[in-house]
C-alpha cells in the first residue's frame, strides 16, 4: 500500500468509529460486557477523541511528512506490540504509528481490551485484504524485529529481559498531576474534575495528585466533583471507595470526601481508584521544576501547562512517556 492509501484507510476508520454501524455498536457492547470498567460513555469518549484528534486526513498527512514517511519503509520490519488495557483502545496510538510507518505489526492485546481493536482490524481487512499482511494478532510475540511494550513496573522488567536485545520502547507505570494556584475559574475546575474522573481515573493521563498552595480551599473542587456521584452505582468503583475510605479511617489519617471521591495528603503521584492525593507547596517554580523532572509523571495540567480538561485528549505527537514512537519506527529503516 502507498502512504496515501494507508492514510485514507485510517480516515475511513475514524468515520466508521464515529458512525452507528450495528456491528461496531455490538462490539462496543461486548467490550463493556467483558470489562465492566469500560462503561459505554467512556468507550464513546475514547472513540470520539481518537477519531477527532488522530484520524483526520490533514493531521495524518502532516504527521507523516514531519518524519519523512514514504510509501514503503527502506527496511521493512515486523514490530511486536504489547498493549495495555486500562482504558478503552489505549494501545491505538501504537497501532496507528506502526500502520502509518508501513512496517508490519504483531499485536498482543490485553485481555481487558481486546474486543475493540480486533474488531477494527477485521474491518480494515474487509476494506483492504492486504492489511492482513501488515496487522496480525498473537498470544506470544516471537521473532519480531522490534518491540513496543506497555505495562506495569513489574512487567517492564519482564519486557526488558525478553525484548532488551532488540530495538524497543518499554513503558512502565505513569500518572498525571495538576499544579493549581488557587485562581482557577469554575469552568477550569469543572474541566479538572473530568481530568480526574474520566475512565474512573484509570488512565495514565488521569490526574491522581494535586499540588496546591498553602491554605488552598478544596471545597469548590469537591462540590464540582459531586457530578460524578453516579459512579457509586458501579460496584467496582464503590468497592474501591469503601475499601480505601476504611483504610484511612482505621489508620486515623486525615481525609476529605464528598461521598464519591476522597482527597488525602500523600507524596505519591499514584493514587488508587476513587482517591486523589494532594501536596502543598510554597514555591510554584521550584515544584514545577521538580515535577517536570519526575520520571513517573505523564502529564502536567495547570496554567501555562496542559490546559484543564485536555489531559485525556492527546494528539498525534503527544507520545506516551515522552518517547517519540514515530522517530523510533523511522530509525528501524537505518
Rg, C-alpha atoms of the chain: 21
pLDDT at 59 over 90: yes
CATH of the domain at 106: 3.40.605.10
Alpha helix (H) ranges present in 74-152?
92-101, 115-127
- Give yes or no: residues 167 and 179 share one domain: no
Range 106-123 average pLDDT: 98
| pTM for this predicted structure | 0.95
- Give yes or no: residues 126 and 242 share one domain: no
- Give yes or no: residues 212 and 260 share one domain: yes
- Give yes or no: residues 23 and 159 share one domain: yes
Domain assignment present for residue 313? The answer is no
Domain assignment present for residue 230? The answer is yes
- Give yes or no: residues 213 and 265 share one domain: yes
Domain assignment present for residue 312? The answer is no
Range 10-24 average pLDDT: 98
pLDDT of 227 reads: 96
- Give yes or no: residues 15 and 164 share one domain: yes
Q: Which helix (H) or strand (E) holds 179?
A: strand 175-179
The Cα angle at residue 203 between residues 184 and 14, in degrees rounded to 5: 100
Please state whether 119 falls in left (phi above 0), alpha (psi between -120 and 50) or beta.
alpha
Instruction: In whole angstroms, give the CA distance from residue 309 to residue 196.
Output: 9
- Give yes or no: residues 168 and 204 share one domain: no
- Give yes or no: residues 180 and 163 share one domain: no
Domain assignment present for residue 18? The answer is yes
Q: What is the pLDDT of residues 181-205, one digit of tens each?
A: 999 999 999 999 999 999 999 999 9
- Give yes or no: residues 155 and 209 share one domain: no
Instruction: In whole angstroms, give the CA distance from residue 65 to residue 144.
Output: 26
CATH of the domain at 250: 3.40.309.10
Q: Considering its fold, how many domains does the chain have in total? A: 2
Domain assignment present for residue 310? The answer is no
Domain that holds residue 322: 3-172+318-331
Exposure on the CB side of residue 51, measured as CA atoms within 13 A: 15
Dihedral over alpha carbons 317, 155, 292, 51 (to 10 degrees): 30
pLDDT at 334 over 90: no
- Give yes or no: residues 161 and 195 share one domain: no
Q: How confident is the model at residue 272 (pLDDT cuts 50, 70, 90)?
A: very high
pLDDT at 98 over 90: yes
Alpha helix (H) ranges present in the chain?
3-17, 22-34, 40-54, 57-66, 92-101, 115-127, 153-163, 186-197, 219-224, 235-250, 284-292, 325-331
- Give yes or no: residues 168 and 183 share one domain: no
pLDDT of 173 reads: 93
- Give yes or no: residues 110 and 179 share one domain: no
pLDDT of 17 reads: 98
Mean model confidence pLDDT for the chain: 96
Amino acid at each position: 500500500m502507498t502512504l496515501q492509501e494507508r492514510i485514507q484507510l485510517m480516515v475511513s476508520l475514524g468515520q466508521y468509529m464515529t458512525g452507528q454501524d450495528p456491528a461496531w455498536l455490538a462490539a462496543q457492547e461486548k467490550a463493556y460486557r467483558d470489562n465492566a470498567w469500560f462503561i459505554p460513555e467512556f468507550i464513546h469518549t475514547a472513540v470520539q477523541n481518537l477519531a477527532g484528534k488522530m484520524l483526520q486526513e490533514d493531521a495524518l498527512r502532516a504527521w507523516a511528512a514531519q518524519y519523512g514517511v514514504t510509501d514503503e519503509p527502506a527496511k521493512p520490519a515486523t514490530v511486536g506490540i504489547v498493549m495495555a488495557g486500562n482504558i478503552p483502545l489505549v494501545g491505538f496510538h501504537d497501532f496507528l504509528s506502526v500502520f502509518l510507518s508501513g512496517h508490519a505489526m504483531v499485536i498482543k492485546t490485553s485481555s481487558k481490551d481486546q474486543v475493540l481493536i480486533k474488531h477494527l482490524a477485521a474491518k480494515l481487512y474487509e476494506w483492504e485484504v492486504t492489511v492482513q499482511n501488515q496487522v496480525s494478532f498473537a498470544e506470544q510475540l516471537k521473532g519480531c524485529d522490534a518491540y513496543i511494550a506497555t505495562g506495569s513496573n513489574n512487567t517492564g522488567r519482564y519486557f526488558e529481559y525478553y525484548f532488551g536485545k532488540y530495538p524497543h520502547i518499554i513503558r512502565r507505570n505513569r500518572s498525571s498531576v495538576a499544579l493549581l494556584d488557587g485562581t482557577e475559574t469554575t469552568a477550569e475546575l469543572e474541566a479538572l474534575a473530568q481530568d480526574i474522573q474520566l475512565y474512573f481515573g484509570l488512565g495514565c493521563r488521569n490526574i491522581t495528585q494535586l499540588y496546591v498552595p498553602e491554605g488552598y480551599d478544596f471545597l469548590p473542587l469537591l462540590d464540582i466533583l459531586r457530578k460524578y456521584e453516579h459512579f457509586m452505582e458501579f460496584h467496582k468503583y464503590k468497592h474501591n471507595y469503601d475499601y480505601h475510605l476504611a483504610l484511612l479511617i482505621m489508620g486515623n489519617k486525615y481525609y476529605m470526601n464528598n461521598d464519591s471521591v476522597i482527597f488525602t495528603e500523600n507524596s505519591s503521584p499514584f493514587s488508587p481508584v476513587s482517591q486523589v492525593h494532594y501536596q502543598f507547596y510554597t514555591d510554584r517554580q521550584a515544584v514545577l521544576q521538580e515535577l517536570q523532572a519526575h520520571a513517573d509523571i505523564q502529564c502536567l495540567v495547570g496554567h501555562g501547562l496542559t490546559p484543564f480538561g485536555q489531559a485525556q485528549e492527546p494528539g498525534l505527537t503527544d507520545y506516551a512517556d515522552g518517547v517519540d514512537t514515530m522517530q523510533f519506527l523511522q530509525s528501524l529503516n537505518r
